[in-house]
A and B are shown apart, each in its own frame.
Chain A
Amino acid sequence: MAHNDGKDAPVKVTLETINQMQADGVIGKYAIGGAVGATLYLEPAATLDVDIFVTLPAAPDSLLLSLEPIYDYLKARGGTVKDEHIVIGGWPVQFLPPSNDLEREAVTESVATDVEGVTTWVMSAEHLVAIALRTGRSKDHIRILQFIEQKAVDRDELQSILERHGLSSKWLQFESKYLAGTHE
């Protein structure tokens, strides 16, 4: 892993390292979520970390999934642990195993994209919105509104995801609270 003092902080280095970790079989499929994922579809918004949703190969003798192999792999290559993040290439990364069907689907159906020649995967706009709705913090609601205002989501596809994952009533609440009268 390229060592970086944080001044350059290229996400490219971070992604190359994660891709190598995937090629080495430490992780399975992954997808960028959160604010960095949303940046694929929206204007960039300040964020301090990268959320990576990652599928993990289960240890043969355990039903539990552990992030330890990821941490061990990255620490051996210069990564440093900082709270719930591990700093790779100057960027704190939080690895999140999908905790429900929606997040698993978001990883499976993620979109391949490119950062300075490095291939990576980002959750679809519709999955990002559905996850933000489920998470439900103020900043998540703001992000959903950005997606809607910028017409960055396929509304039919979003409805389909919301129905599939039992989020339709939550969406109706969100619509009546934030979108009533906006014709969005």
Chain B
Amino acid sequence: MSKQEMRKRLASLSFSEKIQILEKLRDRSLAFAATGPRKKTTAGGRKKADKGSKE
């Protein structure tokens, strides 16, 4: 199914069905927000690891 078809299909759902999707989207947004931004230690760790491998 193309993106356009998917959007049409979603738009044609009943308001109740769309609200249920909204609630799931909101839950997901809140979960992402609660997790916080990705820690930079991974990138830093990789740099250190790279440096270490050269030595």
Task: List the interface of chain A (C-beta within 8 A of B).
Answer: 6, 9-12, 36, 39-48, 91, 113-116, 122, 150, 152
Contacts and interface: CB of A to CB of B under 8 A. Distances in A.
Given A11-B19, A40-B18, A47-B22, 11 more contacts: A11-B22, A41-B11, A42-B11, A43-B10, A44-B10, A46-B22, A46-B29, A91-B26, A115-B15, A116-B19, A122-B15
Given A10-B23, A11-B23, A48-B26, A43 B16 contact: no
Contacts of B22: 11, 36, 39, 44, 46-47
B19 A152 contact: no
A48 B27 CA distance: 9
**Main secondary structure on A side of the interface with B:** loop
B49 interface: no
A9 B22 CA distance: 10
A39 B29 contact: no
Interface residues on B, range: 10 to 19
Query: Majority SS of interface residues in chain B?
Result: helix
B23 A39 contact: no
B54 to A, nearest CB: 44
Contacts of A116: 16, 19
B26 A46 contact: yes
Given A43-B10, A44-B21, A114 B26 contact: no
26 contacts: A6-B30, A9-B23, A10-B23, A11-B19, A11-B23, A12-B19, A36-B19, A39-B18, A39-B19, A39-B22, A40-B18, A41-B11, A43-B10, A43-B18, A44-B19, A44-B25, A45-B25, A46-B26, A47-B25, A48-B26, A48-B29, A48-B30, A113-B15, A114-B16, A115-B16, A122-B15
